Amino acid sequence: MSEQPLLAVSDLAFAYNGAVAVRDVSLEVRPAEIVALLGSNGAGKSTTVKAIAGAHKPQHGRISFRGEPIAGEPCHVVVRRGITLVPEGRLVFPQMSVLDNLRMGGHALSSAADAARNLDRVFSIFPRLAERQAQLAGSLSGGEQQMLAIARGMMSSPALLILDEPSLGLMPKLVQELFQLIQRVNGEGVSILLVEQNVHQSLRIAHRGYVMEKGQIVLSGTGQELLGNEFVRRAFLGH
């Protein structure tokens, strides 16, 4: 695995109306890597990834992607560079078909051929969506809507896919299936920054992870190191 980071964040800071949400956050994601960003509610995880994706303009710090600075660039520019955020809450278009939802995800692509190729790719990863492509997205189960949200993110050909709380609200059986799908997406060569409260499942599939508390990174290591860490086990795993 290359040591040159695909994404590098250093000394990131962001405040909402003067209230500091994240400060001095530094992290990196390397090519073909799954990196977990963990922490309790309000720790600053979502704020961090929104700043990376262009939804927030950081007050301080550097964000570089493929060696080029991107801090402060708008979302549509960040998507074209190769970063796609799948936000918390799925946010599919319920009155549109599965196929039309996917086409919306590919609107930034330069050619119809690229969109068609990506559609074939996501249907191979998510065969259930291929079976339901004519169905309204709002009629899908919660797990299927989450698959659709991730598949829609894949339609823009990201090199880095950011997933914000993808397992939230899903039944345990569907959570297991979701994490297997995340591994399969990663197996296609897509780097993943995974924001999750399901710490055990996240660290089981993650190459590396970071733990946030009160807007700061307080711990980092490989997935296995963090699974065995006493602080992580006590704070997040209940033992």
* Whether residue 163 is found in the same domain as residue 184: yes
* Whether residue 164 is found in the same domain as residue 218: yes
* Whether residue 116 is found in the same domain as residue 228: no
Q: Which tens digit of pLDDT belongs to each residue from 191-232?
A: 999 998 889 999 999 999 999 999 999 999 999 999 999 989
In a domain, 142, yes or no: yes
The total of structural domains in the chain comes to 2
Confidence of residue 1 (pLDDT cuts 50, 70, 90): very low
* Whether residue 23 is found in the same domain as residue 136: no
* Whether residue 14 is found in the same domain as residue 129: no
* Whether residue 73 is found in the same domain as residue 124: no
Final residue of a structural domain among 108, 134, 157: 157
* Whether residue 222 is found in the same domain as residue 171: yes
* pLDDT greater at residue 87 or residue 6: 6
Domain limits for position 25: 7-82+159-236
- Given a cut of 70, is residue 69 above it in pLDDT? yes
In a domain, 45, yes or no: yes
CATH number at residue 33: 3.40.50.300
* Whether residue 181 is found in the same domain as residue 194: yes
Confidence of residue 3 (pLDDT cuts 50, 70, 90): low
* Whether residue 166 is found in the same domain as residue 59: yes
* pLDDT greater at residue 239 or residue 174: 174
Could you tell me the pTM of the whole model? 0.91
Q: What is the DSSP string of the chain?
A: --SS-SEEEEEEEEEETTEEEEEEEEEEE-TT-EEEEE--TTSSHHHHHHHHHTSS--SEEEEEETTEE-TT--HHHHHHHTEEEE-TT----TTSBHHHHHHHHTTT-S-HHHHHHHHHHHHHH-HHHHHTTTSBGGGS-HHHHHHHHHHHHHTT--SEEEEESTTTT--HHHHHHHHHHHHHHHHTT-EEEEEES-HHHHHHH-SEEEEEETTEEEEEEEHHHHHT-HHHHHHHS--
Cβ-Cβ contacts under 8 Å for 79 (sequence gap 6 or more) = 108, 156, 158
In a domain, 87, yes or no: no
In a domain, 22, yes or no: yes
